[in-house]
Structure formats: structure tokens, C-alpha cells
Chain A
């Protein structure tokens, strides 16, 4: 069986503004699915980014990710074998990016769709692209084992002393960080679940220059309230992010406040 991470979903306070942010700074292109009034769906050429509006009862956050598999029935069987308590929900036909949904042992939900399940080959690597997604999990080792066993994601060497698990679909890396409340000493405490997106760029300095130029024209591209590292608690949070996910070399946030860490 083959499997590849195929999309991320953000629930946003302003999903159309977020579309311009990711299109402008990461050169992602809109994949038209439902016309100009539909939820923006962007792509870096390999991974889609679905920007949905936050509606009542939902949380404004990096909400979900999706996996394309070549055999949904086999996937369902593997999930059931690993965790008999895990739910499997068929989705209505109108869901472009989900034929079904399930969740890992920590309750992080993912969507599943039928496809070839292969990660994009190295010839389709745009200069700015999604490199990794990070989640925090209480039982990180068990959660990592779940993705490795069910989807065949390959465990990578650990690049630091951090007790993270790094799994690759051959294209992007799923970083599973143990959720420990003590990591949040001196800053606000986030719950377990999806945490941030990592982008690989051709030059961090070039991206910084793009942000500076755009912000000079229109400060709303990066309003002050989402500047990463601002204030004492913000500084502590930035240190925590660097410590617990050492992949990133530079950190900023999208216009909603979702942390983005950058690698070259």
C-alpha cells in the first residue's frame, strides 16, 4: 500500500485574506474547485492548502491534514487492526478532499482520499514549498507508530536531542512532538493537536525581503498582533518552538497567527 500527505486545512477568521498571504509569500496557486466564492484551495504544486472559514462551534487553527492512499479498504483494515477503537467515517460525495475520515490514537483527525498514494517526485519541487507539519501528542511514540504502521511512513533519524518522531512520506515530514505542559513554562499553553507548518524556501532572506516590501505597502499583511517573539511571553514561546521543533531556522506567522517555520 502507498500513502502520501496530500493536503492541509486551516480554519481561518479570514480565509480570503489568508489566500493572498500564502499566494503572495509562498507562490502557492489557487486550484479552482468551487468558483470565486468557494473556499480557497491553494497548491504548492504538490500539497494543497484548504482555507476554510471558521464557523460557529469550530476553532480557528491548523485543523486537519489529508492523506491520499491507493487502497482505502486496506487502510481501513490497518487502522482497525492497530486501534480497534478508532472511528472510520465515510464522507459525502461532495467532499473533494475526503472520501473518509479517521483519527490517530490521540484523537487528531485526518482525511483520506483515494489516489495513487505516491509522494510527488523530486522533479516537481518548487522553490517555496511545504516541508513539514508538526503536531503535539500526549502518547507521541504510539502516535508515531500508528502513522508508520498504517501508512508506511518511514521514520527518519532524529536531528537533535528533542524526543520528537520524524516520519516521511517521501515528500514531506510529519513531526510528532511529545505534548508536555512543562514545555510551555513562561508562555501560554497550547493543547495537543496540530501545531504548525514548516516551509522550505530558496532563501530565508529573500522571503524576509518579500514580507518587508509587502508590509510596507499594506501593513495588514503582517499585523503587529501576530509577530512571533513579541513581548516576554512571545519570546519565551519562540524559544519553546525552536527547542521543541528544531527543523526551523526562522519563524513567523501567517495573518491569522498560525506559526510557520522556515528551512532553506
Chain B
């Protein structure tokens, strides 16, 4: 089955501001047919990023991802037949990407949609251009990474990816890789503890130094676009060290909300 990992979603109390950050620093673009009352959808030509307004009852966080398949009914049937504990939920028509939402055996939630499906809206219907800077991987900390990796390979035909991260299992569609890392509370020694779930977004860029310059320029032009500080104080240093050894990039920053970004050249 042909599959594309081509959706990520953030819940934010500053969703419009967050969008401007990704546009300014990574050159992501909105759709010409964006809907002003809805979540912001921006894209890099392959992955669409939804930045959803945080509503009552929802945490502010990097929330979920999505996979596009060429045979949605077949994928649903395979999950229902093979994974008895996994639920599949049809989504409201207002969603620009998700036709259904499901989860892996550990409960990591993700959306699924049909390639060229009628439900696709906003940037998901106009996301076929080449970007110099694009989303290349997402990091997830989970209780049973090996089991989850096997799930994604079985259901979606994703291929294993060798990664230089201890204990991690990668699955890739050839462009975007899901990095499934073991959630181990002891990794957070010296820092605050984050529970299992989505951890970071990875970007591949043409030049790290240019990205650094663009980050400074964006903040100079609009201080609200300044990244949340990372690595400050003893606990921040411990947290940053964990992030660095759990990721692929050479530049580690956070967006203005604090979502972690792992940047690789």
C-alpha cells in the first residue's frame, strides 16, 4: 500500500502567530483557499501542518500526525481485522485532512485520509511544490516503540529506517520518517518529566547558518516570532541534552509556543 506521512497538527493558544513563525523561518505556505474561521493550514509542498486553536479541554502541544493512503477502505479493513484493540473514528467533514482518526497499539493518535479524497481542503488540496526547507521527521516517545513500528510497517507499508538514536525504531515513507523512541522516565533525570506522546518535529534545511540568520531576522522584525528559549537553567540544560541525544539534527530550537524543532542540514 502506498502511504505518505504528510500531516502534523499543533494545538495552540497562539495559532495564528505560530503559523507566521513557520512561514517566516521555514517558508511554509498557506493555501489560496484557506478558511479564515478555521485552524491555520500551512504546507511545505508535501506535509501539511495544521495549527489548531486550543479549545477548552485540549492541552497546548504538538498533538498528532497523519498518513495519506491510496486505499483507505483497505487500510481500515486491515486494522479492524488485525488489531482488535485499535479503534477507528470517522471525522467531521470540517476537517481539512482527516477522513478518519485512529491510533497505534500504544494509543498514539493519528489521522488517515484517502489520496485525492474529496474531504481534502485548504493546503491539503494544493500541496505539490518543492521547498528548500521541509518536514523530514517527527519524534514520538512511546511505551512500546518496537510494537508500534511493526504496526506502521504492517498497515501502511512503511519501511524501516536505521537511526543513530539509542533504542529508536524508524519507519519511513521515503521522505518523512516517524522516529519511535522508548519513553523512559529516567531519561528526564535532572529535568522536568514529559509523559509519552509526540515529542518534536524535524526539518531538513539547505543551510543551518541561513536558518539561524532567518530566525534572528524574524525576531528582529517581530519580537513575537522569537522562539521560546531552550536550554536555560540547570533543568533546561538537562532537557536540551536529552533532546540532542534523541534527535538527528545539529540545531535544536523551539517555536514560539515551545514545540521542539530538530533541524538537520
Contact = CB atoms under 8 A, between A and B. Distances in A.
Contacts of A190: 57-59
A193 B107 CA distance: 11
A228 interface: yes
Which 9 pairs show the lowest CB-CB distances between chains A and B? A60-B60, A61-B59, A56-B254, A59-B61, A253-B56, A87-B185, A56-B258, A56-B228, A181-B87
Contacts of B26: none
A258 B13 CA distance: 12
Nearest to B143: A107
Given A181-B101, A181-B102, A228 B56 contact: yes
Contacts of B56: 225-228, 230, 234, 237, 253, 257-259
A84 B190 CA distance: 22
A13 interface: yes
5 contacts: A57-B258, A89-B185, A138-B107, A186-B92, A257-B57
Contacts of A241: 57
The winner among A55, A181, A256 for most chain B CB atoms within 10 A is: A55
A153 to B, nearest CB: 21
Contact of A257 (B52, B55, B185, B236): B55
A162 interface: no
Interface in B38-64: 52-61, 63-64
A109 B143 CA distance: 13
Given A108-B195, A181-B87, A196 B57 contact: yes
A51 to B, nearest CB: 14
B72 interface: no
Contacts of A107: 143, 183, 195-196
Contact of A57 (B55, B87, B90, B260): B260
Interface of A: 13, 52, 54-61, 64, 87, 89, 92, 101-103, 107-109, 138, 179-182, 184-186, 188-193, 196, 225-228, 230, 233-234, 237, 241, 253, 256-259
Interface of B: 13, 52-61, 63-64, 87-90, 92, 101-103, 106-109, 143, 183-186, 188-190, 192-197, 199-200, 227-230, 236, 239, 243, 254, 258, 260
Contact of A228 (B57, B192, B199): B57
Contacts of A89: 185-186, 188-189, 193
B89 A60 contact: no
Nearest to A237: B57
B60 A87 contact: no
B59 A59 contact: yes
Nearest to B239: A57
Contact of B107 (A13, A103, A179, A186): A179
B57 A57 contact: no
A241 B103 CA distance: 21
Contacts of B54: 60, 225, 257
A233 B94 CA distance: 10
Contact of A182 (B87, B108, B243): B87
Given A61-B59, A191-B107, A196-B57, 17 more contacts: A52-B192, A54-B258, A56-B239, A57-B230, A57-B260, A58-B192, A109-B195, A180-B87, A181-B109, A188-B55, A190-B59, A228-B56, A233-B55, A237-B56, A256-B13, A256-B60, A257-B55
B107 to A, nearest CB: 5
A235 to B, nearest CB: 11
A54 B192 CA distance: 11
Contacts of A181: 87-89, 101-103, 109
B13 A13 contact: yes
Nearest to B98: A189
Nearest to B63: A191
A61 B61 contact: yes
A191 B9 CA distance: 13
Contact of B109 (A56, A61, A103, A189): A189
Contacts of B196: 107
A59 B185 contact: no
Contacts of B102: 181
Nearest to B92: A186
Contact of B13 (A57, A192, A196, A257): A257
Contact of B89 (A58, A61, A185): A185
A57 B193 CA distance: 10
A228 B90 CA distance: 23
Contacts of B60: 13, 54, 59-61, 256-257
Contacts of A233: 55, 92
A228 B194 CA distance: 26
Contacts of A54: 60, 258
A193 B195 contact: yes
Contacts of A108: 195
A95 to B, nearest CB: 10
A180 B107 CA distance: 9
